[in-house]
Structure 1
Amino acid sequence: MRMQKMKKFLIALLFAPVMALASGGAVHLDKWPGSVGDKAALQNGAKLFVNYCLNCHGASYLRYKNLLDLGLSEQQVKDNLMFTSDKIGELMRVAARSDEQKLWFGATPPDLTIVARARGEAGNAGAGADWLYTYLRSFYRDDNRPTGWNNAVFENVGMPHILYALQGEQVRNHETHKLELAVPGQMAQAEYDKAISDLVGFMVWMAEPQQEFRQKLGFGVLAFLALLFVVAYALKKEYWKDIH
């Protein structure tokens, strides 16, 4: 009897991660259409990030000088993207202190430097990008929430819809459970989706600024190993031809 209970326990333990994933997969995530190779999109995403996100959320593992890798000059970064520091070597922190933010919002807004990787599956930034892209387009009006906003991806989220002026105000249809635009914003839907794609692209890049170089280096290493295999195999045949 004890062995049977132990067997059932081990089986339940083995399949627990699968059951957890199945239970958490109810929300459909839209595919992020962007790319970290699009420098113009990343520049626009950086502009949106410092104007809308950096007011509350820090990116304290990234320095302003890293933005030079996006094809921007030092003067462009200083003139257009540096609002919390006057030195380009400084970290991208928010001006408000964490204890002040906790008092104002009830909790300190999280740092967003590696949010794309944190929201991914096992560190997969691509899955994190899909989550962010869907999340930032899924806010809707909810009078039952303290901020007046809720989110279809992250129910009862404490964050207000900081980009509502651009997107407009969505409401949730309680019959279809879909979001509908009730009050238009400054941008058309396609334009807003493109802006969010750029913003998400910047956050994906920010989570690992060297990922494009890493991928190119990886392909180069694989090509070198393939060439080395051919040379090694030819050398092996030459050494062993008399034996075989």
Structure 2
Amino acid sequence: MKKLLASLLATLALMSGAHASSESLVLDKFPKERVTDLAALQNGAKIFVNYCLNCHAAAFMRFNRLKDIGLTEQQIKDNLLFPTDKVGELMKVSLDTKDAKEWFGAVPPDLTLVARSRAGASGSGADYLYTYLRSFYRDDTRPTGWNNLIFPNVGMPHVLWELQGQRAAKFVEEADPHDPAKKVHKFDGFEQLTPGKMSPQEFDSNIADLVAYLQWMGEPMQTQRTRIGAGVLIFLAIFTFIAWRLNAAFWKDVK
């Protein structure tokens, strides 16, 4: 029980820290149309399996659900089935929790519902992830050598740095608008230190695909749910009109 409470408190602390840091920033808008783009979802699944699934599990998602985004079972086996040999298996990782705590300071969270859990006043969970994954910068004071603009002192290293390249964050000291006697540390842009394998536009596009997949993974039926909901509302509107006219016809001769 004590371990469970400690785990819950640690999770809440991490989430509140990330939430507080993101509140002071404007989150970039995630391109929502990617969620219905099968090619984007397939590319996002590839990035997720190759870069995220080494440490982060998606323990509520099975590999065979990827058939819902247009992949065949053979494509899943040939290109995405690295942690296991069965398509029906859950997306788990073999990372030991003790090693994770030693290396990162905390166990990497499960990502199945991360796009839903990160929603807040500043924007949707997809907006948060889209901004977060594009906000890493070099910081030699951190154990991993990396830091993040909207999640300061994050334990996660920048696993996509080869694609984006290495960047440094520039900060300036400005007077605190609430107390002129104090100074505040204000972000003043990124400086590219080394180029990546992708251009900034290509990297942003691939991150959008990855976030689209994370958004889809949190609710695989969201597109169908929206379509079914629209159909139900149309049916109810038509039925209401018919019922209204029938009621008028039944009672027209009643004095």
**Identical counterparts, % of pairs:** 55
SS of residue paired to 2:193: strand
1:12 corresponds to: none
Deviation for aligned residue 1:197? 0.3
SS of residue paired to 1:46: helix
8 A Cα contact 2:62 2:89, kept in partner: yes
- 1:95-152 CA-to-partner distances (Å, cap 9, x unmatched) read 2232332233221100000000000139x9x700000000000001111111111111
TM-score (norm 1): 0.86
Match of 2:252 among 229, 241, 244: 241
Amino acid at match of 2:31: P
Higher strand share goes to which structure?
2
Pair 1:187 & 2:209 matched: no
Amino acid at match of 1:152: L
Deviation for aligned residue 1:166? 0.2
Deviation for aligned residue 1:200? 0.3
Amino acid at match of 1:133: Y
1:137 corresponds to: 134
Pair 1:52 & 2:47 matched: no
Q: Which runs of 4+ in 1 moved over 3 A?
A: 21-24
SS of residue paired to 1:178: strand
1:114 corresponds to: 113
Pair 1:152 & 2:163 matched: no
SS of residue paired to 1:158: coil
1:218 corresponds to: 229
Amino acid at match of 2:130: Y
Q: How does 1:42-81 map to 2 (within 5 A)?
A: 42-81=41-80
When structure 1 is superposed on structure 2, of 208-217 and 234-243 the one drifting more is: 234-243
Structure 1 residues without counterparts, runs of 5 or longer: 1-20
1:172 corresponds to: 169
Deviation for aligned residue 1:23? 9.2
Cα gap change, 1:211 to 1:103, in 2 (>3 Å): same
Amino acid at match of 1:90: E
1:230 corresponds to: 241
8 A Cα contact 2:22 2:150, kept in partner: no
1:37 corresponds to: 36
Deviation for aligned residue 1:242? 2.1
Paired with 2:101 and 2:152, the residues of 1 have a C-alpha distance of: 20
2:5 corresponds to: none
Amino acid at match of 1:57: H
Paired with 2:236 and 2:43, the residues of 1 have a C-alpha distance of: 38
Deviation for aligned residue 1:62? 0.1
Amino acid at match of 2:62: R
Cα gap change, 1:227 to 1:22, in 2 (>3 Å): farther
| Superposition CA RMSD, Å | 2.0
- 1:14-62 CA-to-partner distances (Å, cap 9, x unmatched) read xxxxxxx999631110001142110000000000000000000000000
Amino acid at match of 1:99: K
Paired with 1:178 and 1:219, the residues of 2 have a C-alpha distance of: 43
Cα gap change, 1:98 to 1:170, in 2 (>3 Å): same
Structure 2 residues without counterparts, runs of 5 or longer: 1-18, 173-186
Cα gap change, 1:72 to 1:191, in 2 (>3 Å): same
Match of 1:161 among 158, 163, 166: 158
TM-score (norm 2): 0.83
Amino acid at match of 1:241: K
Paired with 2:114 and 2:93, the residues of 1 have a C-alpha distance of: 16
SS of residue paired to 1:84: coil
Pair 1:86 & 2:75 matched: no
Deviation for aligned residue 1:212? 0.6
Pair 1:209 & 2:206 matched: no
